[in-house]
Structures are given as C-alpha cells and as structure tokens.
A and B are shown apart, each in its own frame.
Chain A
Amino acid sequence: EDQVTQSPEALRLQEGESSSLNCSYTVSGLRGLFWYRQDPGKGPEFLFTLYSAGEEKEKERLKATLTKKESFLHITAPKPEDSATYLCAVQAPVGSNYKLTFGKGTLLTVNP
C-alpha cells in the first residue's frame, strides 16, 4: 500500500529563520510528487510537481527537492504570510487508474 509520511506535524519559526519540511514516501511506479499549501477553511493550492529524483523547483521563498525516497520543501527566510499547512501527495498507478495519496500535512507557523 502506498504511504506518505510528513514531518514534523507542526513547526514554529521566527520570521527569517530558514527550515525544511520532509515528505517520505513508499510507492510503486511514482508518476509525480506534488506539494500544496492549504490555508484554514480553504482548499489546497498547488505549488510544485516533481517527477524524478534529483529534480528541484523554486517559487519565491520555497524550494522543493526530490530523492527516490523523500522530498523536502525548503523555506528560506520565511515571512508570517507563509504560515499555512503544507501537504505532500504522490501519484502512482492503481490497477488501470492513477491515484493521489496524501500525507497528513505539516502546520507551519511563522512568528513576526
């Protein structure tokens, strides 16, 4: 069974204090790994797709990387507006279809 584990469950940072979120996965036939940001009471907002080990994507203060077993979301010099829950999901084949399996998320709080 496909599994996605995110750590830590919650992370509190001071503004400007860089850190990383982890997403480890066990899946057969990875088609893509996705990062989302979710604000309270809202739907997840798509951030990045990573397809193969060694790939990196960047957007403003966020940088996502991928290995064969895990992905990291690096946050450089975060601001309070980066506070949100960050979700990781992997897409893999299930029979003749393709399914997303989500982790439980990391709740990031950035204090001013």
Chain B
Amino acid sequence: DGGITQSPKYLFRKEGQNVTLSCEQNLNHDAMYWYRQDPGQGLRLIYYSQIVNDFQKGDIAEGYSVSREKKESFPLTVTSAQKNPTAFYLCASALNGGPSGQPQHFGDGTRLSIL
C-alpha cells in the first residue's frame, strides 16, 4: 500500500543533542513538507521541498534542518538550537507543490519530548 511512513513514533531528546526524524513516502510525490503541531495551535510549516536537492524554509525553520537527496525521503533534524522542541511532528507529501490545489497527505507523526 502506498503511503507515508514516519519513524520513530516516539523520540526523546537530551539537552544539547541533535535528533533526526525520518519520513519516507512511496506515493511518487514530488513535494514533501514538515509541520509542527502544538496543543491549541494550527499546524505550522517548518520546511518544504518541491523537488529533489531543493528545499525552502517555512514559517518556523529556526533550529531545524532538512535534506532531500532522494525523492522518497525527507528527514528532519531538530538541532540543539531549537529551545522548545517538544511537539508532534508531521510529515506530508503532495503530487506537486504548485497551483493545482493538490491535497497533502500525512504520515502518523513523531512525538518528540525532552528528557
């Protein structure tokens, strides 16, 4: 079955540590996205990529980094510079990121907590 796989489901970070969240899709989608979800807030865009080897900052990119070396994969690194990383992280993909109004499809998220 086609879909988006995020791993791990739960992740704990120590002070000063970088952690990487995995996102893999087999939908043959060009565009991929990372969002952060906090209680009582809408999803906020961290980074997005419309094509391999290219990505753009979203609204809250500080303290995060990404790479897009393969079409199927878009890992997110939460660096030690992100002072409030505790949140539910969601990865999404879409056929393309253009003006055609294609829906984004989401994985089941990674919940990151601070130790």
Contacts and interface: CB of A to CB of B under 8 A. Distances in A.
Given A93-B99, A97-B50, A100-B104, A42 B109 contact: yes
Interface stretch (A13-21, A43-51, A59-67, A75-83): A43-51
Interface of B is mostly: loop
B90 A31 contact: no
A105 B104 CA distance: 17
Contacts of B92: 43
Contacts, number: 59
A45 B101 contact: no
B103 A97 contact: no
Interface of A is mostly: strand
Contacts of A104: 40-42
A87 B45 CA distance: 15
B47 to A, nearest CB: 12
Contacts of B113: none
B101 A32 contact: yes
Which of B4, B6, B101 lies at the interface centre, i.e. has the most chain A CB atoms within 10 A of its CB? B101
Given A43-B92, A46-B106, A97-B56, 12 more contacts: A32-B102, A34-B104, A41-B109, A41-B111, A42-B108, A43-B106, A43-B108, A97-B48, A97-B50, A100-B104, A103-B42, A104-B40
Interface of B: 4, 6, 33, 40-43, 45, 48, 50, 56, 90, 92, 97-109, 111
